[in-house]
Structure formats: structure tokens, C-alpha cells
């Protein structure tokens, strides 16, 4: 019975009808298989593999559904290799932007609301911190000093930093940490999914924020962090620590949303990562507020120019790159960050930050009154 079943399936007896010798060998095999429990399932499987016909396994080719090959991404060394990553662009591209839009609006409101509460708590505890600082200085003066105290050296270095430099230290540390995660091979797929922004990815919203702290290239990260460190004192003096953090985080999400819109409109899907969009906001805000400030290129310090001229040149270059489809940078994200920085310094500060009083009053009442005791009804 087992041999007849194989003959019907064309496993071994496909050649038996043409060759009598083959039929005889097949009869011997069928007789052997007719014996009960000769060698069990393993023997049946061995005969099936040895004597039968097997179709060669088909090679599965993984193609990107975006219609673009991996060569488009290889042109830039700033992004990870994603040739084998499968993207899933929506058949209705406009619907792809719905969730990112609401995420951008909601996160921006959350960032500025949290910054307002953070500033309230900082002002409330400033007096206590002042007296704690006086006490600490007095204890240091009467306590015997230790030579080569590493902690004291760190505290001395930290106290010598400006408010802006202390503020961006945490941002730089986060970028360095994420950069180290990129070096772990087992994390590559997860990093591409959550730390690169792409409207063709299944995860759309969280990468808009996480990619702001993500760099695959050491040169890319070093250049961005140097610019952020250089402009940190100016931007924090203009906005304050709390407002700066709200602007920086919101800028990262907003610039990525502009990048999404450009990619969907042009059909040029691909991953983007880096803090360039948020840093462009910082740069544009400082240049708009202090247009007569003098700037210089790091490699050519002998050539100086005004901040206003530098901002115009950057906007012109990113506009040309977005129109012409240059792939080395995400010019749409750069342009979106720069325009957001200009808008915020010109109008956004008045519309958003100066209207935070209702929220602060609600938070003050919650902190002052607290939950009512008793809870009985009158």
C-alpha cells in the first residue's frame, strides 16, 4: 500500500514504467517496506529522499516594496545599510501622514507643557537650592581637602560649564549611547526599525523622536554635537533651559514630519537619522535672534561671515537639495528644522511660551491645595 501511494505521487516509480530493472528494484523496496515496523519513520524518510524526485527549493528574493533599490541608500555613508530591509509603503500615501501628524501636534504640546511645569518647579526650589549651596560651600571650607579627589575634579569641571553646556551634556551623552548601540550586530534590525525614521516603515511615530538621538556615522555625530555644543550657551541664554529643551525635542519631531511629507510626495522612501533637524532649529533661532553675529567654519576659521548670511546660505542649499533630490543629507528635515527655528523666534515664543500661564496656574493649585481631606459631601 505504501508503494502504491508513492507510485501515484510519482516519487520512485516514475522511472519504473520505462525500465524493468528499476521496477524490480522498486518491488524489492516495496516488499521490504511491507514488513511491519522495519526501521520506522526514519527509514521511510530515507527511501523517500534517496529514491524519489524532489523539486529544488525556490530562492526567496526579498525586494523592497518602495520601488527603489538599496543603491539609493549606499550613496550616503551617514545611514546604515538597509538593502535587505523590507519596507511597506501604504497604497494610500496621504493616510500614512495621519498618525505622524497627530503625534507631532500631541508631542509638541506635551513638550511645552512639561517645560512650563518644569520651570515652575525649578523656580519654586531655587531658594532652597541657594541655601543648600551655601551650606555645601561652608562644609567644604572646614572639611580637610583630599589631594587628587576625582569627584571634586568632576564637580569643578561641571561648575565651570555654562548653563547651556550643562543642558546639552545630557543630549550629547544620549547620542553617544545610541551610537554605541549601533555597533552591536544583534541590535541592527531593531535599531533600523526604531531609530531611523521612514514613512514606509511599519513603526511611524516613535522613530520621529528616537532618530533625533541616533547616528550611524562617527563623523556625523561628531559634527552635530560640535555645532550643538558651540551654540548651546547662546540658545539657552535666549530661551532658558526649560524652553530650550521643549524647542529642541519638538524640533526633532517636526523636522522628521516634514521629511515624511517630502518622501511621500516624491515617492523617494528611505531611512533618515540624526540630530541635524533639531540642530538646524537651534542654529536658525540663534541666527534669527542675533543676525549680526560673526560665524566661521571649523576647518576655515580665517573666513568669517554674519549669522544672517549663513542662515540664508543654509536655507538655499537645503532647498536646492530637496528639489534636486540630493541623497547625502535629508534636506527636507534640515529645511523643516530651520523654518521652525525662524518661526519660533519670530512668532512662536509669543504664541506658545507666553501663554503658558493657565497651565501653570492649574499646576500651582494642584501642588498647593492637593487632595482634599475628609472627602465628605455637604
- Name the phi and psi angles at 197, rounded to 5: -95, 130
Active site residue 334: yes
From the CB of residue 189, how many other CB atoms can be counted at a distance below 10 Å?
A: 12
- Whole-number CA gyration radius for the chain: 32
Active site residue 276: yes
Q: Evaluate whether 116 touches 364 at the Cβ level (below 8 Å).
A: no
Among 76, 211, 276, 331, the active-site one is 276
Q: Evaluate whether 78 touches 328 at the Cβ level (below 8 Å).
A: yes
Residue 279 grid cell: 540642530
Q: Which residues share a beta bridge with 260?
A: none
Among 201, 334, 349, 377, the active-site one is 334
Residue 363 grid cell: 499646576
d(CA 89, CA 92): 8
Q: N- to C-terminal Cα distance for the chain?
A: 89
**Helix (H/G/I), strand (E/B), else coil: 10:** coil
Could you give the residue numbers annotated as active site?
Answer: 276, 334
Amino acid at each position: 500500500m505504501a508503494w502504491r501511494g508513492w507510485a501515484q505521487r510519482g516519487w520512485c516509480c516514475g522511472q519504473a514504467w520505462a525500465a524493468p530493472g528499476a521496477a524490480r528494484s522498486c518491488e524489492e523496496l516495496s516488499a521490504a517496506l511491507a514488513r511491519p515496523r522495519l526501521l520506522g519513520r526514519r527509514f521511510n524518510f530515507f527511501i523517500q529522499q534517496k529514491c524519489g524526485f524532489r523539486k529544488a527549493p525556490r530562492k526567496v528574493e526579498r525586494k523592497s516594496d518602495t520601488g527603489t533599490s538599496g543603491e539609493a541608500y549606499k550613496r550616503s555613508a551617514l545611514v546604515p545599510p538597509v538593502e535587505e530591509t523590507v519596507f511597506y509603503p501604504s497604497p494610500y500615501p496621504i493616510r500614512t501622514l495621519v498618525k505622524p501628524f497627530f503625534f507631532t501636534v500631541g508631542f509638541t504640546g506635551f513638550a511645552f507643557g512639561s517645560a512650563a511645569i518644569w520651570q515652575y518647579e525649578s523656580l519654586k526650589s531655587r531658594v532652597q537650592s541657594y541655601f543648600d549651596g551655601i551650606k555645601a560651600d561652608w562644609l567644604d571650607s572646614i572639611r580637610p581637602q583630599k589631594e587628587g579627589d576625582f569627584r571634586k575634579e568632576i564637580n569643578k569641571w561641571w561648575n565651570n560649564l555654562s548653563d547651556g553646556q550643562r543642558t546639552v551634556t545630557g543630549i550629547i551623552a544620549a547620542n553617544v549611547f545610541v551610537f554605541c548601540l549601533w555597533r552591536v550586530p544583534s541590535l541592527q534590525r531593531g535599531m533600523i526599525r526604531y531609530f531611523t525614521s521612514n514613512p514606509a516603515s511599519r513603526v511611524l511615530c516613535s522613530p520621529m523622536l528616537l532618530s533625533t538621538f541616533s547616528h550611524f556615522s562617527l563623523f556625523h555625530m561628531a559634527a552635530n554635537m560640535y555645532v550643538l555644543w558651540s551654540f548651546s550657551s547662546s540658545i539657552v541664554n535666549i530661551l532658558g533651559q526649560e524652553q530650550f529643551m521643549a524647542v529642541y525635542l519638538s524640533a526633532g519631531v517636526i523636522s522628521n514630519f516634514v521629511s515624511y511629507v517630502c518622501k511621500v510626495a516624491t515617492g523617494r522612501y528611505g531611512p533618515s537619522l540624526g540630530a541635524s533637524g533639531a540642530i538646524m532649529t537651534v542654529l536658525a533661532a540663534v541666527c534669527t535672534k542675533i543676525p549680526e553675529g560673526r560665524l566661521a567654519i571649523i576647518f576655515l576659521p580665517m573666513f568669517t561671515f554674519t549669522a544672517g548670511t549663513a542662515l540664508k546660505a543654509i536655507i538655499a542649499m537645503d532647498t536646492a537639495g530637496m528639489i534636486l533630490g540630493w541623497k547625502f543629507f535629508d534636506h527636507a528635515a534640515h529645511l523643516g528644522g530651520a523654518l521652525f527655528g525662524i518661526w519660533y523666534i519670530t512668532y512662536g515664543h509669543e504664541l506658545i511660551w507666553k501663554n503658558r500661564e493657565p497651565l501653570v496656574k492649574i499646576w500651582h493649585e494642584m501642588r498647593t491645595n492637593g487632595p482634599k481631606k475628609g472627602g465628605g459631601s455637604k
